[in-house]
Amino acid sequence: MNVAVFSTKPYDRRFLDAAVSGRHALNYIEARLDPKTAVLAGNARIVCVFVNDVVNEAVLDEFERLGVRLIVLRSAGFNNVDLAAAGRSGIQVARVPAYSPEAVSEHAVALMLSLDRHIHRAYARVRDGNFALDGLLGFNMHGRTVGIVGTGRIGQGVARIMLGFGCKVLGYDPEPSSACEEMGVVYRPLQDLLATSDIISLHCPLTPATRHLIDAAAIGVMKRGVMLINTSRGAIIDTKAAVAGLNEGRIGHLGLDVYEEEEELFFEDKSDEVIRDDVFERLLMFSNVLVTGHQGFFTVEAMTAIAETTVANIDAFVRTGRPVHMVV
């Protein structure tokens, strides 16, 4: 079966080639999918996309014209797909519901520890021969209260690690998990969690209900100096409100692996370009802000699992007409 793979990087080819082992013809396309590039799918019946590919109505109309029957996401999140339009076009959508959630959980904790102990600043200082400790004062994780918004697979992984550190872990989720409660997570209403946590880590999906869940009002109820971590989706935080919170000292540390306007930036080398995004540039001016370019998923284990599940979705579709993991 011909498969058009959008937003392909060399590392995607490496893991997909290993998983597919010649069973399907993968046409690797470097371009990001949008209404202008959709035509590159050519004669493929299956299109494979990643998190910043745009799968809107215009793209789906073009795919319907080309005869595309299935879209396989190389991700868990599917907020970039217009599911209603896909339904109208008769195009099925599949995803990778769970791939090594520990990869993202551990990255969230890496951001927490780096910010707390100022590792990003210490690294630069020591290389510059500056061994002064002023400005590098941290705090013990042990005994702190960590609030986890969204206690699904990734949130649960963060909870497990933070409980291991001796933190008190609070959770907020419209669907609380008994496994989390058994582990020691205490569920609280969102406002209570925001008001009492020293560290808040976001792990809910991006939906209309969670867009700008963390806005000026939410930041207003947080403890002064709170650490806020987002490895979920950028638009869960109103970034302008976060910049204001940093200016006022209400947010003491901000760790982001995702950014609401990341489509124009992440996964590309922009080091020779002027970044024309004033909000992003402003974020980078704060020494208590640490941004990584959506790399939470980027471990050998996760990349292997993503490739294998993507190919399993393709295999099942070719065999039975339905992928294994349909997006509902």
- Where on the chain is the footprint of ligand NAD (CB under 6 A)? 76-77, 101, 104, 149-155, 172-175, 203-206, 209-210, 231-233, 257-258, 294, 296-297
Beta carbons of 218 and 194 less than 8 angstroms apart: yes
- Residues acting as catalytic residues: 233, 262, 294
Whole-number Å distance between alpha carbons of 147 and 186: 9
Q: How far is the CB of 99 from ligand NAD (least distance, A)?
A: 8
Single-letter code of the amino acid located at 259 = Y
CB of 213 to ligand NAD, least distance (A): 6
Name the residue nearer to ligand NAD (CB basis): 27 or 231: 231
Short-list 132, 134, 131, 156, CA closest to 146: 156
The amino acid at residue 31 is A
Q: Which is nearer to ligand NAD, 238 or 257 (CB)?
A: 257
The nearer residue to ligand NAD, 50 or 63, going by C-beta atoms, is 50
Least distance (Å) from ligand NAD to the CB of residue 79?
A: 7
Residue closest to ligand NAD, measured at CB: 152
CA 281 to chain centre: 20
Spatial distance between the Cα atoms of 115 and 54, rounded to a whole number of angstroms: 32
Copy the structure tokens of residue 175. 């669907």
Q: Cα torsion for 203, 206, 210, 212, to the nearest 10°?
A: 100
Q: Which is nearer to ligand NAD, 64 or 264 (CB)?
A: 264
Q: Smallest distance, Å, CB 147 to ligand NAD? A: 11
Residue with tokens 């872990």: 169
